Amino acid sequence: MYRRQFLLKSAVLTLAATNLRCSSATSLTGPEEASSKKKKHRVAIIGCGRMGQYYAEVYRAMPDTELVAIAEWNPERRKVVGERFGVKALYRDVNSLLKDTVPDIAAVVTPSKYMKEAVIACAQSGVKGVSTDKPIAAKLADADAMVDACKKSGTVFAGGNLQRAKWDVQEAARRLHSGEWGKTIGTSVHGFGGEISGGGCQHLSILRLFTKTEVDEVIAWGSPLEALAPEKDDAGLIINGLFKLNSGLKTSVFGKKTPYSGVEVWTENALIRWNWASPQIYSGKDNSGARHEIDPNYAPFPWTDFFEKMQGTIPSTDSAPWYGDDYLISSIRSFIDAVEKGTELFISGHDLRQALEIAIACKLSAQLGNRPVKLPLQDRSLTLYPRPYRWLGGDVTNRPQSPEAAAGKKS
């Protein structure tokens, strides 16, 4: 009787996992369907530095989008980037762009200091969907204002180039939530330091995705002591601590790398480990008693051919160091589908706001001598600046891009 029940349960779980993998393969509009559309989404890129050019490359190559406008404050870069992408509608800022044209989609890829103005202007002008990148802001109230403005106008508010949007990360999360590996019983974060609101929001966004929960309380220790000064940005800040999740789980946070630098989730039957790549799955033990890594058999990424074609055609310059990654493509495809069909975003502006709030709470707890800090934070004026390059951009922090690189010429 018990054996029959076990076999039946195993069969049901296997079927559910198979169906989940099949359904995940169709959770994004595929290239053929996108190519068959007669009307293309009109896209504006706001901020055409190195990362903005990466967005422009992807949008230009998509079969169902067209670049119609660019806003870029640097006049020389504005000219050469416009020529590179064949865009004639060139503007100094978002406001002058929106006076002339309201695109369907706007990608805000400015330094963080200027994101709030651009996102809110797009939402209030009737843009259907706007995306931004990390970190979303320095002040929590500014992130709130962006989320609220998009909600009020009905604008889809997406996040951008984060590993949370990676195809295999999304599938691992879906399979975790389906119960394929059993109930989640523990979590940990590794290497949470250096930039807890910049690069660190990668960890926080994946932790929230995998656990499908919010952080209720933070207890944190920070080092070095000078990094805890109120006016200091997040560069060099190392956080160790404990997150209490609203599911009842507790997450151990290690500031420096253990053998890993990412997020781990334990379930009744498996360990799921994201370590800046496709999540690894461990289930059972090998002959030595160590965890045994299994093949997760992830569903194929539907835009693989498109991604490989982009890698082969885009010039290798200092403006494009990210082309070994596929997650901006899946992030943008998720965004386009959300605008078209109302589907769930792989990464949203809300997700970026939540990551910023957790990071702010971590520094606050450490400043208060490891006192527990409850979330959501009551004081929305609390602020954590990212390092200057993220906040102000390369032009004013001694990392300017050459005109040749902005033009897409090989270095």
Instruction: Tell me the C-alpha to C-alpha distance, in Å, between residue 321 and each of 66, 166, 217, 262, 312.
Output: 23, 17, 37, 21, 14
Q: Supply 232's token pair.
A: 């200091």
The predicted pLDDT at position 288 comes to 84
The predicted pLDDT at position 307 comes to 79
Q: How far apart are CA 327 and CA 206, in angstroms?
A: 13
Q: How far apart are CA 179 and CA 202, in angstroms?
A: 24
Specify if 275 maps to a domain.
Answer: yes
Average pLDDT, consecutive stretches of 10 residues, N- to C-terminus, the chain (411 residues): 37 41 62 93 97 94 96 97 97 98 98 98 98 96 98 97 96 97 97 91 96 98 96 96 97 95 96 96 86 94 83 55 74 97 97 97 98 98 96 94 88 54
The predicted pLDDT at position 349 comes to 97
Instruction: Tell me the C-alpha to C-alpha distance, in Å, between residue 222 and each of 62, 178, 370.
Output: 44, 36, 9
Q: Do residues 155 and 127 make contact, with C-beta atoms less than 8 angstroms apart?
A: yes
The predicted pLDDT at position 314 comes to 59
Q: Which is nearest to 28 in space by CA: 348, 350, 340?
A: 340
Beta strand 105-108 pairing with 280-285: unpaired
Beta strand 129-131 pairing with 105-108: parallel
The predicted pLDDT at position 7 comes to 34
Specify if 174 maps to a domain.
Answer: yes
Residue 371 sits in a domain whose CATH number is 3.30.360.10
The predicted pLDDT at position 71 comes to 98
The predicted pLDDT at position 20 comes to 44
Q: How many domains does the chain have?
A: 1
Beta-carbon contacts of 15 under 8 Å, excluding residues fewer than 6 positions away, are none
The predicted pLDDT at position 315 comes to 54
Specify if 366 maps to a domain.
Answer: yes
Specify if 200 maps to a domain.
Answer: yes
Q: Supply 203's token pair.
A: 């960890």
The predicted pLDDT at position 19 comes to 45
Specify if 238 maps to a domain.
Answer: yes
Q: Do residues 107 and 55 make contact, with C-beta atoms less than 8 angstroms apart?
A: yes
The predicted pLDDT at position 186 comes to 96
For 204, the domain range is 168-300+352-389
Q: How far apart are CA 117 and CA 131, in angstroms?
A: 13
Specify if 173 maps to a domain.
Answer: yes
Specify if 405 maps to a domain.
Answer: no
Q: Do residues 119 and 150 make contact, with C-beta atoms less than 8 angstroms apart?
A: yes
The predicted pLDDT at position 8 comes to 35
**Torsional sign, CA 155, 157, 160, 165:** negative
Cα of 386 vs its chain's centroid, Å = 16
Specify if 7 maps to a domain.
Answer: no
